[in-house]
Amino acid sequence: MTNPFSIEGKRALVTGANTGIGQAIAIGLAAAGAHVIAAGRSSCDDTVAQITAAGGSAEALTLDLSDPVKGAGELAKAGDLDILVNNAGIIRREDSVDYSEADWDDVMDVNLKAVFLLCQAFAKAAIARGAEGRIVNIASLLSFQGGIRVPAYTASKHGVAGLTKIFANEWAAKGINVNAVAPGYIATNNTEALRNDAARNQAILDRIPAGRWGDAEDIAGAVTFLCTPAAKYVTGAVLNVDGGWLAR
């Protein structure tokens, strides 16, 4: 009997796979059987080491998406891909009235333009060789909410949700499923300051029905599912993995 939750033999590229959510996603995909290309501007050697130590298959690829056109051009170095996970992202905080054009451009380049170009390159290659594919984009709670002091991040993550839907519309009939996962408050290096602020931490926990911060592995599980045959009829979805935050 074929296991619908296996991606054995598939080749998956994960951006921003050096730490946090991206690292957990890479490890999760490898555990499900994929050969993982862990891509990032910083070294992903630790991620590769963890995967290989657990008996999985992985390699690292340097991918700097601060120049989206150049970064997307590097995708060919990964070879034929079955799965693309666009996890890499940056955030810049400032009051909207003072937000600089430079910060706006930097965030939009990495969080949105690079996602568009990587998805486009992946789809072109898959369609050309008549192959099926899976794309999972990492969205955010701020794909649905406005947030505070992060105008470019909010705009970019709304854009990620929109790109996910248009790509699903155009590519589903060609065998390419495109979905997004929207993480809630996840315990990673990026949220350490929030968790160390007792008042802010408690306010966040009070809003989460699950009563806890999420783990990076919670996101990895959802992403891995969307890449398996079990999710073959799921496309154009933005899956909230937030402990119930948006339901409250």
213-246 confidence digits (pLDDT tens): 999 999 999 999 999 999 999 999 999 999 999 9
Q: Give catalytic residues, as residue numbers.
A: 153
Entry pTM: 0.97
Question: Dihedral, CA atoms, 219, 222, 227, 228, nearest 10 degrees?
Answer: 140
- For 82-127, write each residue's pLDDT tens digit: 999 999 999 999 999 999 999 999 999 999 999 999 999 999 999 9
Mode of pairing for the β-strands spanning 176-183 and 238-241? parallel
Q: Which CATH number fits domain 11-247: 3.40.50.2300, 3.40.50.720, 3.90.950.10, 3.40.190.10?
A: 3.40.50.720
pLDDT tens for 13-63 read: 999 999 999 999 999 999 999 999 999 999 999 999 999 999 999 999 999
